[in-house]
Amino acid sequence: MMTSTIWRPPTEFAEDLRERYGLTCPPVWGTPRRPDFPTLGGKVAKVMERLGYKPMPWQRYVWDVALEIDPATGGFWYRHVGLSVPRQQGKTQGLLAVMVHRSQAFRRQRIVYAAQNRTMARERLEDEFWATIEVSRLARRFFIRKANGREAIISRATRSRIGITANTESAGHGPSLNLGMMDELFANVDDRLEQAFSPAMLTLEEAQLWWASAGGTEKSVPLNKKRAAGRAMIEELWETRVFPRTAYFEWFAPDHLDRADPATWRATLPALGYTVSEAVIQHELDTMDPAEFDRAYLNRTRKKTPPPDANVPAARWPALADPASRPVADSVALALDVAQDRKHAAISAASLRPDGRVHLEVVAHRAGTDWVVPAMARLHQLWKPVAVAVASSGAPAASLIDDLIAAGIDVPKDKDAPQRGDLAVMRSGDITEACGQMADAMNQGTIRHLDQVPLTAAVTGARTRRVGDAWTLDRTNSLTEVSPFAAAVFARWALVIRGPHVLEDYDPLDSIY
């Protein structure tokens, strides 16, 4: 057995998938196709087309392998099929094609579909499966029965039927079962569904049991067991070249891959470029909880989310949103920050509003660091900020200080009398002071923000570490990339030390009360 925890398919396997199917996103673990074995996969692909969908390369590959015919018996080689693939990749449509093909190619087949629960299974049957069939070229071959407890899509010619069941100990009991489909296995907390299905399939040579799911949580015990067993089985197959009677396919992004890198998506999402675009995945990344994004789109097991960081009052953040808030001319401070791995950077602004509250805004948040200094130079010229803050003391952005100076953003010639627009280079004490000030401002309600996704996500996922009796943002352990929030913290600090209330006798409480 191979013992590696991050395993990639052999080169020849990936090349075969590219040449045979045009599949450029191979599974991390996948049963290879044996060309000398006949298969019904092509028949399923034709059914898919008649249902109104164009088969994707990954679907063709899975069908061809899963429906290989044993030359010695004429029956299916694989009795069990496991499919672990991220969400929105065409999994359910692929299962439907398999079920419809089975109902048309064989007489009097009993096909049972199970989802998270019976309610969801019925919704799928009526709102997805039947809705697809009734507007397709196969509509005349089927009718639907909706009587409660007897729901089924029935083939007129073969009398085969596609029914549904609940995740209970009695699921699948009764007549023999020809094809069992256990979808969304992540929702199952025990093996009762499989234990109910299996006995009903014992006497049928052509019977198959499929399970399919995106990633689950630590509570998804059946799914996690099957994924572990599937991985071990495929690794052993590549060592021994002995094919078991179970086929397994898994697309997955190991934890060391960056969730925000499109290269990770291209290596994990086999429908990317077909039915899903990078823009859609980027939107999901921007709006979803990072752990849920990992589960849904990177097929990672979602672990327990740690509690919110007590130092960052993130619960108060939503109430501080003001979409109409705007920066005020001559009262703007800018700051920049760079992610620890330098894959992203951010520029944020802080501005003192007429009501005494501080406006916070992410001006830019982009990949890489090459854009930061030119962008800051343009903003410096356009906005004429009271200061431009950047952290030193070992912070990732410290490497840009010399370039900022070369771009015309100077350090103060007199530290006690800085000029408008000078750099505010933050030392360790300044950084912890800025973090404490931001927490106080959030608790006291003296800031306003535009509810921008990068900033809100950074606040929500921020984690901190102690520095003496104070604290600072922890770029390593935060749940998401925190440079937008760090830049906002630094910009507010720069506004406090260089802003209008320093230049004149100004009391913000006068404008609030």
Quick check: 174 and 161 in contact, CB under 8 A? Answer: no
Same domain, 51 and 90: yes
Model's pTM, two decimal places? 0.63
Residue 334 domain-assigned?
yes
Residue 304 domain-assigned?
no
Q: Which of 257, 272, 297 is the last residue of a domain?
A: 297
pLDDT digits 0-9 by tens, 259-298: 999 999 999 999 999 999 999 999 999 989 888 899 999 9
pLDDT digits 0-9 by tens, 172-225: 455 789 999 999 888 876 777 787 787 788 778 889 999 999 988 877 888 888
pLDDT of amino acid 9: 58
**How far apart (Å, rounded) are the C-alpha atoms in residues 404 and 390?**
10
Same domain, 278 and 318: no
Q: 366 φ, ψ to 5°? A: -135, 170
Same domain, 253 and 324: no
Share of the chain above pLDDT 90, in %: 70
Q: Give the closest residue to 197 by CA, choosing from 207, 212, 187, 185.
A: 207
Q: Give the closest residue to 88 by CA, choosing from 244, 269, 241.
A: 269
Which residues sit opposite 81 in a β-bridge? 210, 247
Same domain, 254 and 375: no
Number of domains in the chain: 2
Same domain, 320 and 248: no
Quick check: 411 and 405 in contact, CB under 8 A? Answer: yes
At 400, which CATH number? Answer: 3.30.420.240
Mean per-residue pLDDT, 402-427: 85
pLDDT digits 0-9 by tens, 301-352: 877 666 778 999 999 999 999 999 999 988 999 999 999 999 899 999 999 9
Same domain, 258 and 342: no
pLDDT of amino acid 189: 67
pLDDT of amino acid 217: 81
Report whether pLDDT(395) > 50: yes
Same domain, 346 and 292: no
Residue 3 domain-assigned?
no
Same domain, 84 and 192: yes
Same domain, 275 and 334: no
Report whether pLDDT(510) > 80: no
Residue 208 domain-assigned?
yes
Report whether pLDDT(250) > 80: yes
Residue 277 domain-assigned?
yes
Residue 216 domain-assigned?
yes
At 22, which CATH number? Answer: 3.40.50.300
Residue 461 domain-assigned?
yes
**How far apart (Å, rounded) are the C-alpha atoms in residues 311 and 436?**
8
Same domain, 244 and 375: no
pLDDT-derived band at 80, boundaries 50, 70, 90: very high
Mean per-residue pLDDT, 85-107: 95
Quick check: 392 and 401 in contact, CB under 8 A? Answer: yes
Tell me the residue range of the domain where 499 lies: 314-512
Q: Which of 297, 324, 347 is the last residue of a domain?
A: 297
Same domain, 326 and 288: no
**Strand order of the sheet with strand 152-155?**
29-30, 246-250, 80-84, 208-213, 179-183, 110-114, 161-164, 152-155, 142-145
Q: Which of 297, 327, 343 is the last residue of a domain?
A: 297
pLDDT-derived band at 8, boundaries 50, 70, 90: low
Residue 1 domain-assigned?
no
Please give the mean pLDDT across all residues of the chain. 89
Mapping DSSP to helix (H, G, I), strand (E, B) and coil, where does residue 39 land?
strand
Same domain, 362 and 228: no
pLDDT digits 0-9 by tens, 436-470: 999 999 999 999 999 888 898 899 889 999 999 99
357 DSSP assignment:
P
Mean per-residue pLDDT, 30-56: 96
Those residues whose C-beta lies under 8 Å from the C-beta of residue 294, and which sit 6 or more positions away, are 215, 253, 259, 300, 302
pLDDT of amino acid 508: 39
Q: Which tokens in the block code for residue 468?
A: 């003496």
pLDDT of amino acid 511: 37
pLDDT-derived band at 115, boundaries 50, 70, 90: confident
